[in-house]
Amino acid sequence: MSSPSDIAAWQEPALTSSGVPNAKLGIWLFLASEVMLFSTLFTSYVVLRLGAASWPRGWVALNVPLAMVNTIVLITSSVTMVLAYAKVIEKDLSGFRKYMMATIGLAFLFLIFKSFEYGSHFTHHEYPSTSIFHAVYFTMTGLHCIHVIGGIIVNTGLLFMANEQFDHPLFAGRVEGAGLYWHFVDIVWIFLFPCIYLI
Partner 1 sequence: MVKKNNHAAAAHDSHSHAHHELTFWQKYVFSLDHKIIGLQYLITSLIFLLIGFTFMMVMRWSLAFPGTPLPVLGRLFPADLAPNGVISGEFYNSLGAMHGTIMVFLGVVPLGVGAFGNYVLPLQIGAPDMAFPRMNMASYWTYLPGGLLMLASFVLPGGAAQSGWTSYPPLSIINPGQTVWLVGMVLLITSSLMGSINFIVTTLNLRAPGMSLMRMPLFVWSELVTSVLLLLAFPPLEAAAIMQFMDRVFHTSFYIPQGLVVLGMLHKASGGGQPLLWQHLFWFLAHPEVYVLLLPPMGIVMEIIANNTRKPPHGYKTVVASMCGIGAMSFVVWAHHMFVSGMSATLSNFFLVTTMIISVPSVAILTCMVFSLKGGSIRFNVPMLWALAFLPMFGIGGLTGLPLGLTATDIYLHDTYYVIGHFHYVVVTGSIVAMIGGVYYWFPKWYGRKMNDTLGYLHFWGTLACMNGVFFPMFIQGLAGQNRRYYDPTAHLHNLPTQPLHVVSSVSAWCLFLFQLPFIYNFFHSMFAGEKTEENPWKATTLEWACPSPPPHGNFEKTPRVYRGPYEYSLPGAKTDWAPQHVEAV
Partner 2 sequence: MANEHPHRVAAAHGHPPPNVKLYIAIFGALIFLTILTVVVSWWHLPPAGAIAVALLIASFKASLVLAFFMHLKGEHKLIIAFLGIMLFTCIGFFLIPLDQHLLRDRTTHTEVKEEGGAPELPQAEPAKPQEAK
CA count, 13 A, side-chain hemisphere, 68:
6
Binding site for partner 2 (CB under 8 A): 12-13, 18-21, 24-25, 28-29, 32, 35-36, 39-40, 42-43, 46-47, 50-51, 53, 58-59, 64, 68, 71-72, 75-76, 78-79, 81-83, 85-86, 89-91, 169, 172-173, 176, 179-180, 183-184, 186-187, 190-191, 193-195, 198-199
Residue type, 65: P
38 close to 188: Cβ distance less than 8 angstroms? yes
Nearest to 158 by CA among 145, 144, 177: 177
* Radius of gyration of the CA atoms of the chain, in A: 20
Residue type, 93: L
With binding defined as CB under 8 A, does residue 30 bind partner 1? yes
Query: Interface with partner 1 by CB under 8 A: which residues?
Result: 1-10, 12, 14-18, 20, 22, 25-26, 29-30, 32-34, 36-41, 44, 47-48, 51-52, 127-132, 134-135, 139, 143, 169
